[in-house]
Structure 1
Amino acid sequence: MINQVTRKNIYFLSNLGKENNKSKLNLNQLTHQDLMIKWLAKQKNIASYETELELKSWNSKQDRYPDLMIEYENKNKVWVEIERTRKSKERIENKLDNMREHIRGNHKVIWVIPDEKMAKFIQEQINNYNWYKDAHTIEIFNI
């Protein structure tokens, strides 16, 4: 679809099996969304997923959401954080704080990151935070 005013493409990300549930993407979100779509395409056994925009639309009372919330066919729920760039330690700690309730509910967290350097940084922050370290998985994914 093309925006008639700016003449730029508008991209939509729709959920599995939910054609009329589409999220409009801004141009500056495309790199992040592109990585998310490529990562999702490589996954197996996903029953459903919701993007951050979809989660916000269902429950605007919460102020932090994952980039993706996935439910696998075996009913396991996973919070997916896609980190392309290094954030401050405080921002990562804030993300970890916001994951507490989900981890208590037996959800897992997958950190999708681009390289070893970022993997080391995220692992250090998880170790420093020292709370449910086994619930976190770091996956290097850079296509």
Structure 2
Amino acid sequence: MKFFTFLMLLVSSSFFAQTISKQVIGTAGKTQTNSNLKVSWTTGEPVVGLMTAGGNQLGNGYYPAMDIQALSIDDVALNVEIKVYPNPTSQSLYVSHPDLTSFQIQIVDMNGKQIHTGTIQKEIPLDVSSYTQGIYLVTIEDAINHKKNTYKIIKK
């Protein structure tokens, strides 16, 4: 009888075992299943707290936006006095600078297709009348310092 009681106690305790599952408050999610695989995904914030060890977050759960800066040897604060005008334009595009007279120019459409590349002189117009209406990215590089700026130009 003691063995039977012990066995019932052991079997009944396995039905009430605790489990911890990650729960998420999310705005979107879905479960996809087929005969061999079940995949669930969601976007949102975890309700069950993220694990940390010594101030470092361990690799589980959703990572919120972090304040990360990319390291680079380039000077990100370009003080380039290049002006590209008029914007918007329908006929011509001009480039000016107080000291420099020659620039490398590259024009790319919003699909990434290179439309024009070459050299442009200060205050001499570049004809853009044959371009289709839209938005273009114009990258100008000065010939001396090789500093670049990219401008968004609207072609009417």
State the TM-score, normalizing by the size of structure 2: 0.19
Comparing both structures, which one devotes a greater share of its residues to strand? 2
Flag the structure with larger Rg: 2
Comparing both structures, which one devotes a greater share of its residues to helix? 1
